[in-house]
Amino acid sequence: MAGQADNRAPYARIAAHYAELIASGQLQPGTLLPSIKNLSEEWKVSTATAEKALRKLRNEGLVRGIHGIGTEVLDQPAPMSSGSQRQDRGRRTGSSWGDGERSDSHQASVVPAPADVAQALDIQPGTEVVRRSRVYRDRHGIVAHSTSWIPARYGRMIPQLATSERLTGGTSLQLIAQATGHPISHRIDTASASPLTAEYARLLELDPENPPAEPVVVMTAKFIDSEGNIVEYGVDLGGPGRTWRTESEVSS
């Protein structure tokens, strides 16, 4: 968030800057990034740090090095995010959007829980739940269709959860934690590949008569608070051609 210190290493800050420019479309495919020498001068870092930043961008598949020419921006859809990654992003920045993303088609209603949702939330099938859905997009199209299933008692505590608008004041998990005083303490993630069903095609705005051949990535996330209550179950469907990627530091 604005005003917070950026504690990332210099090479990571440089790489993040250019990753955001690429994701937002400000740097188009085929554009050449500054040379290592120019980067080191512009960012006031060593050439080794500048080279490490470019290497990070190459490792992320955002650019490629062309011998004798430079570092070229590649045209590649951004990966999808899991519900847990969006939670982490929302906690850090106040928004679940990734670089270059936006969301639309926000829908919310109180509905009977389907059997799979009831099992995930540990409630009886048919029990009322809040269903919130939205579509995340970037310049390539749909990143993911995301649905959150929330026990109805939280909807009664926070009426905004059941309105068909983008939430204000934080993510659903942040709003629930604020209302109950119980922070989210535990989460369970799953990821799998699934054939493209007619329902998935509808949610991802695909032509069911000419569906893509590849399967879709289906990711789920169950969020549990410090009192052991299951407060949300999320299901994300990745758009065609999207992959799931995570990155973490490995300590020696």
Q: Are residues 56 and 139 in the same domain?
A: no
The CATH number given to whatever domain includes residue 16 is 1.10.10.10
Give the Å distances, CA to CA, from 98 to 19, 23, 101, 161, 237.
Answer: 11, 9, 5, 22, 16
Q: Which two tokens stand for residue 29?
A: 């495919």
80 Cα distance to chain centroid: 6
How many structural domains does the chain have?
A: 2
The length of the chain is: 252
Give the phi and the psi of residue 44 in degrees, each rounded to 5.
Answer: 55, 50
| pLDDT attached to residue 3 | 43
**Distance of alpha carbon 248 from alpha carbon 164, whole angstroms:** 35
Domain span holding position 18 = 10-73
| pLDDT attached to residue 248 | 64
| pLDDT attached to residue 250 | 66
Q: What b/e readout covers 207-242, taking b as 16+ CB neighbours within 10 angstroms?
A: eeeebeeeebbebbbbbbbeeebbbbbbbbbbbbeb
Q: Are residues 92 and 209 in the same domain?
A: yes
**Distance of alpha carbon 24 from alpha carbon 18, whole angstroms:** 10
pLDDT one-digit tens code per residue, 30-77: 999 999 999 999 999 999 999 999 999 998 788 999 988 999 998 766
The CATH number given to whatever domain includes residue 122 is 3.40.1410.10
pLDDT one-digit tens code per residue, 122-163: 999 999 999 999 999 887 788 899 999 999 999 999 999 999
| pLDDT attached to residue 252 | 53
Structure-derived torsion over alpha carbons of residues 162, 168, 170, 176, reported in degrees to the nearest 10 = -30
Q: Which two tokens stand for residue 105?
A: 């088609």
Is residue 249 situated within a structural domain?
A: no
State the average pLDDT for the chain: 88
Is residue 252 situated within a structural domain?
A: no
Is residue 5 situated within a structural domain?
A: no
High-pLDDT (> 90) share of the chain, %:
58
Q: Are residues 101 and 69 in the same domain?
A: no
Among 38, 54, 73, residue at a domain's last position: 73
